Amino acid sequence: MIEAELGRCVASFYPGATGVTGAAKLSGGASQETWTFDIVHPGGNVGAILRRAPPGYGAAAGRAAGLDAEATLMQLAHDAGLPSPKVMHVLRPEDGLGRGFIMARIEGETIARKILRDEEFAKARPLLARQLGRVIAGIHGLPRAKLPQLRSMTATKEIEDLAREYRSFGWPRPMFELALRWLRDHDPGPSAEVTLVHGDFRHGNLIIGPDGVRAVLDWELAHFGDPMEDLGWICVNSWRFGEIDKPVGGFGTREELFAGYAEAGRRADPERVMFWEVMGTLRWGVMCCGMMQRFRSGPDHSMERAMIGRRASETEIDLLRLLAPRGK
């Protein structure tokens, strides 16, 4: 049924399209649906992706930027020469597909295990940290006047939001308490510069090819804030997938990341990045606890939620390594 709906929609904006084929729902994404399909065209099929809110899903709330904002941000990034898919169409009510957008499909890999281990990506791995530094700098440099309305986030507000969410679980964790105390004691205060922050710049949201970074996906958590937040988040140990001695995604060093950032005309503040790495580690731990809470209380008793939930204990070890490193 979705192929017929997509076919009608595509015909309205893609000249010469005669339908769609191969529509398949992709795994991943807790709050949005992602479908891959091909636009059938006499000049050759064109790969596309539909990203939409699932049927019955309400308007964006809380931390989510919203699908219209995501589409705008991705197109602005694409137009600025950053690795981002071209947005082909923003859904309208008459399309009958709900809320969302259709973008060009970019081939590549998002699975960290393959990116970090497969021979196909061996030449790309040493280049990725520096490449990502340049990409993040480009995101932070997008002109504020062209950006959609987004929430603003400060370090102080993030600490209090995390504390409130963590305590709502009624599940005491001494390392989380220590991390909250450390964050409050080391709160750097308002950032001297407020920029667009991607908010979830990490494995899973990056398409990688043998040549390196091909696209940045999932701008769902984009907001205005301290640009060092993105640099700290990509360094969180949970995104290294066992390659703990390579802080940037398991494939590079912080120095390489900062060098790429500098090559694009921006300067990293290592102390603020460290602060946001601690914050990001705690944030992921709290998110894992939330997954376990939803698994326990229902209605979603999926094994995926339980498996993510158990990773909260890993973040406690990561926080211990960050805040009480061996030998100090």
Upper half-sphere CA count for residue 125 (Cβ side, 13 Å): 18
pLDDT, position 51: 95
C-alpha–C-alpha distance, residues 29 and 10, integer Å = 24
pLDDT, position 107: 96
pTM across the whole model? 0.93
pLDDT, position 58: 46
Name the token pair of 301.
């008793």
C-alpha–C-alpha distance, residues 155 and 293, integer Å = 25
Name the token pair of 42.
């006499």
C-alpha–C-alpha distance, residues 227 and 313, integer Å = 28
Q: In what helix (H) or strand (E) does residue 34 lie, and over which residues does it extend?
A: strand 33-40
Where do the CATH 3.30.200.20 domains begin and end in the chain?
Answer: 2-104
* 302 residue type, one letter: S
Encode burial over 280-318: b for 16+ CB neighbours within 10 A, e otherwise: bbbbbbbbbbbbbbbbeeeeeeeeebeebbebbeebbeb
Name the token pair of 322.
């960050």
Name the token pair of 107.
């081939």
C-alpha–C-alpha distance, residues 228 and 140, integer Å = 10
Q: Is 322 exposed, middle or buried (0-12, 13-18, 19+ CB in 10 A)?
A: middle
Token match 């030449």: residue? 123
Q: Which CATH architecture has domain 112-323?
A: Alpha-Beta Complex (3.90)
Give residues with Cβ within 8 angstroms of 226, minimum separation 6.
154, 155, 188, 191, 193, 194, 197, 272, 276
Where do the CATH 3.90.1200.10 domains begin and end in the chain?
Answer: 112-323
The CATH class given to the 2-104 domain equals alpha beta
From first to last of its 328 residues, the chain has per-residue pLDDT tens of 799 999 999 999 999 999 999 999 986 555 689 999 999 999 999 999 999 987 655 444 467 889 999 999 999 999 999 999 999 999 999 999 999 999 999 999 999 999 999 999 999 999 999 999 999 999 999 999 999 999 999 999 999 999 999 999 998 999 999 999 999 999 999 999 999 999 999 999 999 999 999 999 999 999 999 999 999 999 999 999 999 999 999 999 999 999 999 999 999 999 999 999 999 999 999 999 988 877 677 766 667 767 777 888 999 999 999 998 876 5
